[in-house]
Amino acid sequence: MKRTERVGAMLQILRENPNKVFSLGYFCDLFGCAKSSVSEDVSAARRALDISGFGRIETSAGARGGLRYIPSISAKAAESLLAELEKKLQDRSRILANGFLYTSDIMFSPVISRGVGQIFAAKFEGAGADCVVTVETKGIPAALMTAEMLNLPLVVLRRESKISEGSTVSINYFSGSAERIQKMSLAKRAVRPGSRALIVDDFMRAGGSVRGIADMMREFDMEVAGVGVVIASKEPVKKKVTDYFPLIYLGQVNEDEQLIDVERNPQIFESVFA
């Protein structure tokens, strides 16, 4: 293979396996060339990523050393994603009864959920999380993409326990501003006690679901490494959780005037791209 072909193949492999460590020997065997040649390929691949803004390659020495691709999203791409989210959320046809919005098509969009995952991964890269946790169902795509970018397992809490998951732990929690009692459960084998969890959810009104997930983590002697939310409601102002990172704030949804108040989190660029 020519160098350009090797570099292209290397970038493809690395970008398909974010945050996974590959030894130089792996690429030597794959390409049938010496370590010196692969080292030069790595330098070329690193320059390409630096110029394009699609992430970076880190190398480490030692017996377990190698290289890994750390994904990122450029400020321009994040701006485009947030603009698309705002535009879609302001579509008046999304208005449902009681001030709710239809968002399933947005949350289950592969393109949008991947971009959301890239932003969350960039934000929480150094949080020391051991897994990404969400509760079914609409938060799963964003959580899955975040887990992929960070090379972490995804843990999904269920509303009802399933016999196929074996022994479970269940808790009751207050969800939403209506203070309705709901239930969530988690298989005992799903997480490792003493580890750290990054919570990702699609929507937060009063913070009851996120608080419930955090309470569940404490049942397993786990710590919360961070909280990422795609959309957070402006009301109520006082929520059940205080430390969270939203992408979009949703204000008043006026059914009569067909108006939807949407704005992005103004701290995104200074906290992620600073």
Asked if residue 270 has pLDDT above 90, the reply is no
The overall average pLDDT reported for the chain is 93
Instruction: Encode pLDDT of 108-158 as tens digits.
Output: 999 999 999 999 999 999 999 999 999 998 999 999 999 999 999 999 999
Contact 211, 228 (CB under 8 A): no
CA dihedral angle for residue 94, residue 182, residue 240, residue 144, rounded to 10 degrees: -60
* 151 and 209 co-located in one domain: yes
* 19 and 110 co-located in one domain: no
* 116 and 166 co-located in one domain: yes
* 59 and 101 co-located in one domain: no
* 268 and 141 co-located in one domain: yes
The CATH number that applies at residue 132 is 3.40.50.2020
Instruction: Encode pLDDT of 222-245 as tens digits.
Output: 999 999 999 999 999 999 999 999
The CATH number that applies at residue 22 is 1.10.10.10
Distance CA 208, CA 167 (A): 25
* 86 and 104 co-located in one domain: yes
Q: What is the pLDDT of residue 54?
A: 87
**Which of 71, 94, 114 is a domain's end point?**
71
Distance CA 123, CA 110 (A): 20
Percent of the chain with pLDDT over 90: 81
Q: What is the pTM of this model?
A: 0.92
Count the domains in the chain.
2
* 56 and 105 co-located in one domain: no
**Which of 16, 45, 71 is a domain's end point?**
71
Residue 226 φ/ψ, nearest 5 degrees = 170, 170
Stretch 98-111: mean pLDDT: 93
Q: What is the pLDDT of residue 239?
A: 92
* 155 and 44 co-located in one domain: no
* 192 and 118 co-located in one domain: yes
* 203 and 264 co-located in one domain: yes
* 131 and 67 co-located in one domain: no
* 141 and 49 co-located in one domain: no
Q: 56: domain range?
A: 3-71
